[in-house]
């Protein structure tokens, strides 16, 4: 299933059963997780790669799944509600060609049965866009929710 068949307003009841699992984590744990969990596909979903970290071999970076600089600035400047932030983030991803292409690439991995870990900067997933991306993958597409690593 590609993103062309779903939008940010798609009901979670319009899902299908999938076998792969989506985990989340943050960059400070990336190296440890790569070493301890080679069975997982590690996917960075931030717009910018951390300057303090060399990109490990085998880590997939999908920068177009990160929130735009404008959305991050607006969210912080206006102290945007997390739900509003998630709504804007999902629309940003689903309404842009680059966002849909990156999401389709991630969906292809999951549809092939690969369990993935989504990485970004924020330690607490409850204040990071990877929460919303994981929710989209798990609720709208039916992939398993593995929690935080």
Pairing of strands 41-44, 60-61: parallel
> In the chain, what are the domains?
19-148 (3.40.1010)
List the pLDDT tens digit at each of the 149 positions of the chain: 444 544 444 444 444 456 899 999 999 999 999 999 999 999 999 999 999 988 888 899 999 999 999 998 888 888 888 899 999 999 999 999 999 999 999 999 999 999 999 999 989 888 889 999 999 999 888 899 999 99
Instruction: Say how far apart CA 24 and CA 35 lie, in whole Å.
Output: 16
């Amino acid at each position: 299933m590609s993103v062309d068949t779903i939008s940010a307003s798609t009901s979670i009841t319009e899902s299908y059963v999938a076998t792969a699992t989506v985990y989340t984590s943050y960059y400070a744990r990336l190296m440890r997780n790569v070493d301890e969990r080679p069975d997982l596909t590690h996917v960075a979903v931030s717009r910018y790669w951390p300057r303090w970290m060399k990109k490990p071999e085998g880590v997939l970076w999908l920068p177009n799944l990160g929130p735009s600089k404008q959305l991050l600035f607006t969210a912080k400047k206006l102290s945007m509600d997390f739900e509003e932030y998630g709504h804007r983030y999902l629309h940003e991803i689903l309404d842009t060609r680059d966002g849909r292409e990156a999401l389709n690439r991630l969906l292809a991995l999951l549809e092939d049965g690969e369990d993935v870990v989504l990485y970004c900067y924020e330690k607490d997933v409850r204040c990071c866009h990877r929460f919303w991306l994981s929710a989209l993958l798990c609720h709208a597409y039916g992939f398993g929710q593995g929690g935080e690593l």
